């Protein structure tokens, strides 16, 4: 899929969240051991025309023992973020699994940016292509006007606007670990889901949250690309794990060691996701129209 196609944000994942190609893995702080946290997230399509929006995804994110476990129940997928090992481990709902190192993430994003720059240099000049190019240019080099309010933060750019309701985290809460994970989740999301934005816009949002020492209670994204996008992610933070959370973690760790797992390369896992996504769209909407 070309960068032009990526500028059309047809799907927004909760692993939603600039990658400097050199040296980032050394700069990522692991969640401190003993600092547990749970985040329950609901992502809605606010532009669906339905009252209250249409739920796109729900996820449970657990921080424990220096790792982050991100579980999306609707697809049965668990992403395990292991900053001390500089990697993600992904357990698919159908017993496919893969490992993605931070270096691989860096390399993929670097190659994708170069491809995007080549597209911008040779982009057609019709109105639709100019709109796609403007969206892609913004993703690579986002510039926001920031406005701060007591209960929130707004970042407005030419193609994208983020409106956040925020809260001040409790003293000693591991709030920065959440933003570190959100950064890397945005990068990984771009690799796994071809309709995702480049990570840079969300990284700018996370940087602003760090500066003001806030956590996002809700994040509303309005994007103007090939198709307009209006998405909201609602986050519920808790500073301790529930007994069921610890059971989940134990089950996921046992699953990782299961002999039934089929370990594949990152590329194979990505192609597997694309095939599942295409099959799902065909069943629900029929064949995709030609463009």
Distance between first and last Cα of the chain:
13
Q: Is the model more confident about 276 or about 52? A: 52
pLDDT value, residue 12: 33
pLDDT tens digits, one per residue of 8-40: 333 333 333 322 222 333 334 555 555 899 999
Flag the least confident range among 30-39, 135-144, 212-221: 30-39
Q: Give the mean pLDDT of the chain.
A: 83
Q: Please state the rounded mean pLDDT for residues 90-112.
A: 93
Q: Is the model more confident about 13 or about 224? A: 224
Tokens representing residue 226 in the block:
């090939």
Pairing verdict, β 228-238 and 215-224: antiparallel
Q: Is the model more confident about 228 or about 265? A: 265
Expressed as residue numbers, the domain containing 261 is 25-285
Q: Is 60 part of any domain?
A: yes
CA distance 66 to 6: 33
What whole-number percentage of the chain has pLDDT above 70?
83
Q: Is 13 part of any domain?
A: no
Cβ-proximal residues to 26 (8 Å cutoff; 6+ apart), any chain: none
Residue 135's nearest CA partner among 157, 113, 162, 114 is 157
pLDDT value, residue 34: 55
Give the Cβ contact number of residue 197 at 10 Å: 28
CA distance 186 to 15: 6
236: pLDDT confidence band, cut at 50, 70 and 90? very high
93: pLDDT confidence band, cut at 50, 70 and 90? confident
Residue 201's nearest CA partner among 6, 2, 1, 61 is 6
Q: Is the model more confident about 29 or about 5? A: 29
Flag the least confident range among 18-27, 55-64, 122-131, 187-196: 18-27
Pairing verdict, β 215-224 and 87-91: unpaired
pLDDT value, residue 73: 87
**Cis peptide before 17, with omega less than 30 degrees from 0?**
yes
Q: Is 2 part of any domain?
A: no
CA distance 291 to 275: 19
pLDDT tens digits, one per residue of 152-164: 999 999 989 999 9
Number of domains forming the structure of the chain = 1
Residue linked to tokens 């990284």: 203
The secondary structure of 224-254, three-state, reads ECCCEEEEEEEEEEECCCCHHHHHHHHHHHH
Q: Is 136 part of any domain?
A: yes
| In contact, 264 and 97? CB cutoff 8 Å | yes
Tokens representing residue 185 in the block:
């989740």
Looking at residue 76, the DSSP 8-state letter turns out to be T
Cβ-proximal residues to 238 (8 Å cutoff; 6+ apart), any chain: 37, 38, 39, 40
pLDDT value, residue 32: 54
Q: Is 11 part of any domain?
A: no
| In contact, 14 and 57? CB cutoff 8 Å | yes
Residue linked to tokens 């600039």: 18
Q: Is 9 part of any domain?
A: no
Q: Is 290 part of any domain?
A: no
Q: Is 204 part of any domain?
A: yes
Residue 208's nearest CA partner among 146, 156, 140 is 146
Q: Is 204 helix (H, G, I), strand (E, B) or coil?
A: helix
43: pLDDT confidence band, cut at 50, 70 and 90? very high
């Amino acid at each position: 899929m070309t960068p032009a196609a990526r500028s059309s944000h047809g799907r927004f994942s909760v692993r939603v969240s600039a990658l400097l190609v050199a040296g980032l893995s050394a700069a990522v702080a692991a969640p401190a051991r003993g600092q547990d946290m749970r985040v329950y997230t609901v992502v809605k399509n606010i532009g669906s025309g339905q009252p209250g929006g249409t739920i796109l995804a729900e996820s449970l994110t657990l921080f424990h023992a220096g790792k982050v476990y991100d579980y999306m129940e609707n697809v049965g997928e668990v992403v395990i973020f292991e900053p001390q090992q500089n990697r993600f481990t992904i357990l698919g709902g159908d017993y496919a699994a893969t490992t993605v190192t931070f270096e691989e993430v860096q390399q993929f994003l670097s190659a994708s940016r170069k491809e995007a720059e080549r597209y911008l240099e040779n982009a057609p000049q019709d109105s639709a292509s100019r709109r796609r190019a403007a969206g892609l240019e913004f993703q690579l080099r986002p510039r926001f006007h920031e406005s701060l309010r007591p209960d929130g933060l707004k970042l407005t750019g030419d193609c994208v606007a983020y409106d956040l309701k925020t809260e001040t985290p409790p003293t000693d809460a591991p709030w920065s670990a959440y933003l570190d994970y959100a950064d890397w989740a945005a990068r990984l999301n771009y690799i796994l889901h071809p309709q995702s934005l480049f990570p840079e816009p969300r990284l700018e949002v996370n940087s602003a949250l760090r500066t003001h020492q806030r956590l996002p209670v809700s994040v509303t994204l309005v994007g103007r690309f090939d198709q307009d996008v209006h998405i909201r992610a609602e986050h519920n933070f808790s500073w301790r794990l529930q007994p069921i959370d610890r059971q989940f973690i134990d089950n996921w760790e046992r699953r990782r060691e299961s002999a039934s797992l089929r370990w594949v390369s990152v590329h194979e896992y990505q192609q597997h996701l694309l095939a599942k996504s295409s099959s799902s769209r065909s069943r629900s909407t029929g064949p995709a129209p030609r463009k």
